[in-house]
Amino acid sequence: MPLIKQLTEVTIQAELEERLIAEESPNRKNGSSTKTMKAPAGEFELKTPRDRTSTFEPWIVKKH
């Protein structure tokens, strides 16, 4: 389970960084929030990064 958590967090972090580079308007990271993920092997807490304008929605893990 820790490997799934680490890989997912790294993927989301890279996705946010790529999006911030591509955006024309100024935006930057703004901490993270936690999300409880349910997987066949059990539940785990995932740290999802945020951006200042709150427009970032990870492709791999949708909001809500």
| Model pLDDT for residues 11-58, shown as the tens digit of each residue | 999 999 999 999 888 999 999 999 999 888 889 999 999 999 998 989
Q: Which residue has the higher pLDDT, 64 or 37?
A: 37
The residues near 41 (Cβ < 8 Å, ≥ 6 apart) are 1, 4
Query: What is the pLDDT, as a whole number, of residue 52?
Result: 94
Query: What is the pLDDT, as a whole number, of residue 40?
Result: 87
From start to end of 1-64, where are the E strands? 29-39, 42-51
Lookup: tokens for 57: 């929605």
Would the pTM of this model clear 0.85, i.e. be above it? no
Query: What is the pLDDT, as a whole number, of residue 64?
Result: 65
